[in-house]
Structure 1
Amino acid sequence: MSLYDDAVLVLKRYGDGPEGVVDTAGGPAGAEPDEQKALCRDYLDHLSLHPDDGMWKACEAGHLTASALVVDPVAGRVLLTLHRKLNMWLQMGGHCEPDDVSLAEAALREATEESGITGLTLLDGGPVRLDRHPIPPPCNRHLDVQYAALAPARAVAAISDESLDLRWFGYDEVASVADESVVRLLAATRARLA
């Protein structure tokens, strides 16, 4: 299965399956299910219109990206990166690469590379939420598929070249350092963990 085919399958499951936006108890728990359904349709429409490049940075109409919020649920904390280009505290994530065989693998790869933590595992149930956001041209927008990655006990992070800083934050600290997209991702992740 190609990465494109995997993305279509993942998005269809997200929108329709028991872990998707239809089930607000198991999916993005009370977090704008209608908006998530609309985004899911938009992502699928984008892939349909851009079957050759909709997954890649070269697509000027935008492209899918994969990210993962690294969480340590035992300690009640999340690992955020101070993004080098955007100068914002964000979850780990980025562009899909030709060797990626799935969105989940791309999200886990990005989380591992950017956190320096080995042994991360994705939270069961597929993506936690979707987030579309503008970026500087020529790409114009990211269609982010967001996962949650569980950190092993006593995980030690190591900063990468893509970050200005890397830091653990308590759940209650995230809203004071990160934007609403990260706050919503954390809320959806915590609901999925519950």
Structure 2
Amino acid sequence: MSLHDDATLVLKGYEGQEELRQRYLEHLDTHPDGIWKACEAGHITASALVIAPERGRVLLTLHKKLGMWLQMGGHCEPGDPTLAAAALREATEESGIEGLTLLPPGAPGPVRLDRHAIPAPCHWHLDVQYAALAPAGAVERISAESLDLRWFAYDEVPDVADESVVRLLERARASL
């Protein structure tokens, strides 16, 4: 199965955000390359919010290009077998934490969707957002894509991140 096919199945099975989910499916239906960065009409991205529930904290990255505190995530790559694997790869690469596991255990699926504008030549990221549990004692390591990494208490997130990250945290906590 192709990554495009996997993304279509994941989105067909996702419950919630019906209008946005439909836009994602229409995008994939009209753009065979809609999963890849080269698709100028926009493309699917995969991200994951790294959570340490025993500490009541989430790990955010200060994004190098955007200068904003965000969850880990980015573009799908040809070696990604699934959208969930792309989100887990991105979270692992950007956090430096090995042993992350996607929620919910056993059947990880997206926590929410977020469509946001980005600068040309591409115009939209159609982000499929997951949540990942950090193993006990996890130690983060800043990647080349980040200016900083920092653990934030749940109640600190609204003070440092945008609404998309706040909503992602709310939905992720409901999955714990």
> Which TM-score band (shorter chain)?
over 0.9
Report % sequence identity. 75
What is the CA distance between 1:191 and its match in structure 2?
Answer: 1.2
Alpha-carbon displacement from aligned partner over 1:175-194 (angstroms, at most 9, x marks no partner): 0000000000000001111x
Instruction: Quote the residue 1:113 is aligned against.
Output: 93
Q: SS at the partner of 1:161? A: coil
Alpha-carbon displacement from aligned partner over 1:42-96 (angstroms, at most 9, x marks no partner): 0000000001x10011111000000000000111000000000000000000000
Show the 5 A alignment for 1:45-64: 45-51=26-32, 53-64=33-44
Alpha-carbon displacement from aligned partner over 1:84-135 (angstroms, at most 9, x marks no partner): 0000000000000011110000000000000000000000240000000000
Q: Which runs of 5+ in 1 are unaligned?
A: 15-19, 22-35
Q: Which runs of 5+ in 2 are unaligned?
A: none
Instruction: Quote the residue 2:129 is aligned against.
Output: 146
Instruction: Quote the residue 1:37 is aligned against.
Output: 18
Using the size of structure 1 for normalisation, the TM-score is 0.88
* Structure 1 consecutive aligned stretches of length 4 or more whose deviation exceeds 4 Å: none
Instruction: Quote the residue 1:74 is aligned against.
Output: 54
What is the CA distance between 1:141 and its match in structure 2?
Answer: 0.7
Cα distance in structure 1, aligned partners of 2:53 and 2:83: 23
Instruction: Quote the residue 2:153 is aligned against.
Output: 170
What is the CA distance between 1:171 and its match in structure 2?
Answer: 0.2
Cα distance in structure 1, aligned partners of 2:51 and 2:100: 9
Cα distance in structure 1, aligned partners of 2:98 and 2:173: 22
Using the size of structure 2 for normalisation, the TM-score is 0.97
Cα distance in structure 2, aligned partners of 1:70 and 1:141: 24
Show the 5 A alignment for 1:5-24: 5-14=5-14, 20-21=15-16
Aligned-pair Cα RMSD in Å? 0.6
Instruction: Quote the residue 1:180 is aligned against.
Output: 163
Instruction: Count how many residue pairs are aligned between Structure 1 and Structure 2.
Output: 173
Cα distance in structure 1, aligned partners of 2:34 and 2:55: 38
